[in-house]
Structure formats: structure tokens, C-alpha cells
Structure 1
């Protein structure tokens, strides 16, 4: 059973998972700009070079139940959107390499901060591959989330200048 990070109305990571990572950065750009970049999943490969492909498979705007497929860290991933609060919060969960692979739950949160927005991200990993080597997955997830935040910051701030 997935445990939420906050109350029952708030989708969250599995805080009891063997691997949990949390990072944040302040971005000098509007929440609208950050949100547009973050939720344009089909364009992730333009600012996240380690993602080989990313595509939304469900027609229409992102909403709970929307499915997207992507590839990262050598895994083919199918994710499902769990929660969408535009310009505030995006949550998805999915399996890397199928149901016997890595179950990731990912939360992005945007909070107004001075001239921009504080972007926080947290993710939990569980599943047999994670159980076999949690330290390796922890190191990889920490590095990945920190890198993604820095790239999101750079991309959003460049979009604000241009």
C-alpha cells in the first residue's frame, strides 16, 4: 500500500520506500513558465538529454489517469498522472521495466518565492531491483533530481529572458 507524505487528500511519495530523495531550487521565472516546461512531457528531451524519449499517450490536457511513456537511466517507464494542480503540483507514479521493476512516485511542487518560484521535487523508489541495491539507487536518484532541477531552472530562466 502506498503511503502518502501528507493527508489523505494529498497524493505523495511512499515515505516508507527504501529510496526517498527530496530537492528544491528557486527559479527566477513565473510559475506559468516553469509549469509549461515541466508539463510539456513530449519536449523533455530538449532540456533533459539523458531522457531518450518521452511522449504522452493520453489525448487532451494532463489529468489524473493520463499516461506517458519515457526512457531514463536505462529503463523504459510507463507513468500515470495521479494529481494535477496547475502551476502548483504534479504527481505521477509508474514502473521502470514493468511491474517487477522499479516503482517510482514523483511529486513536483511550485510555491511562489520572491521574484519567482520555489520548485521542490521528491521521489520514492521501491521494488525488487531497489531492494537488491538501495545505495546505488539512492545515489542515482539524488544526482538525477538535483540535475533535473538545475536544468529546469536554467531552461525556465532562459525562457523568461528571451
Structure 2
């Protein structure tokens, strides 16, 4: 069984009208997955719709408490890293700039397996902005995360292959 997300109380699935999970067995190592999730410059290569990530407050890498701006789900979002356990889990929470009352919390859990890792992502969303988007396309968030997992897995395999190729 996989470790449970450490939800902030107000963003727990039982308190959120939008909640979904996605998971995938990945042939890449946890280190390859982790290196991509914590490298904001790499996000546009695998994260659907992301064109930029700007770290705030002088940060140069993601870590616990790092604030950042990006464009997730077609929305300009302000978020911060709220869980950070190297090689194992990372989560960020935030809101679209057009509606601070519409919040989202997105968590990732990476579990080593014999052939790579099991990648689990789970998200909760609240507020009128996200609810309206979900009404327009009920499966859009889940489908986007399915693509995200596949693209992340492919990017991780490419990154590992490049490192193997460059190794002496």
C-alpha cells in the first residue's frame, strides 16, 4: 500500500468537490522522476500546458516552502511547495491568480519498485473557478494528469538514457 497524502485539513478529499488520482508504473528510477519534478526548467517538456515556471523569493530550486508562479491547467497560478521529502514525495498548493478563493493541492508519491518506480499523483480542488472549469469539461483534469504521467515517464527514461550514454 502506498503512503497517504499529508493533506492540509482544509484541502482534504472529503472537503473538496474535485478530487482525482492517477498512477503509473514507470521503468525509470525514482531519482530520474524526482530530478524532473524538482527541476522547474524541465516542466515545459512534460507538464501539459506549462510554458514557464518562475521561482520567487530568490529560490533557484524547489524545496519546502518555495513559492513559484506558473501556468497550470491554462491558468496563471501562484503556489508553494508544502511537502518535500527527497526522492519520495512532493506537494504544492496554490490558487489561480484570477480567484484566490479557488484552491488546489497537488501531491506526488514516488515508490521504488523492482523495475523502476510506482508514481502516484493526487489532487484536490475547491472554489468557483475550478468548479466552473470542471463543469465545462468534466474529465479534463484527470485526463490532463494521465498525459502528465505518461510524458513524465518518457522524459525520465530519456534523461536516464542520456546519463547512461554520457557515463564512462
Relative to 1, partners in 2 of residues 1:62 and 1:73: Cα closer, same or farther, differing over 3 Å? Answer: closer
In the TM superposition, 1:14-53 aligns within 5 A as: 14-15=12-13, 16-53=15-52
In the TM superposition, 1:1-162 aligns within 5 A as: 6=4, 10-11=6-7, 14-15=12-13, 16-58=15-57, 59-100=59-100, 102-132=102-132, 134-136=134-136, 138-162=138-162
Deviations 1:63-94 (A, max 9, x none): 32210110123311011110100000001100
> Is 1:34–1:152's contact at 8 Å kept on the other side of the alignment?
yes
Relative to 1, partners in 2 of residues 1:113 and 1:46: Cα closer, same or farther, differing over 3 Å? Answer: same
> Is 1:76–1:96's contact at 8 Å kept on the other side of the alignment?
yes
Give SS of 1:102's match.
coil
> Is 1:53–1:71's contact at 8 Å kept on the other side of the alignment?
yes
Relative to 1, partners in 2 of residues 1:6 and 1:116: Cα closer, same or farther, differing over 3 Å? Answer: closer
TM-score normalised by structure 2 residue count? 0.82
Deviations 1:92-114 (A, max 9, x none): 10001244453110000000111
1: distance between equivalents of 2:21 and 2:122?
4
> Is 1:45–1:51's contact at 8 Å kept on the other side of the alignment?
yes
> Is 2:134–2:140's contact at 8 Å kept on the other side of the alignment?
no
TM-score normalised by structure 1 residue count? 0.85
Q: Which runs of 5 or more residues in structure 2 are unaligned? A: 163-168
CA RMSD of aligned residues (A): 2.2
> Is 1:42–1:54's contact at 8 Å kept on the other side of the alignment?
yes
Give SS of 1:120's match.
strand
Give SS of 2:103's match.
strand
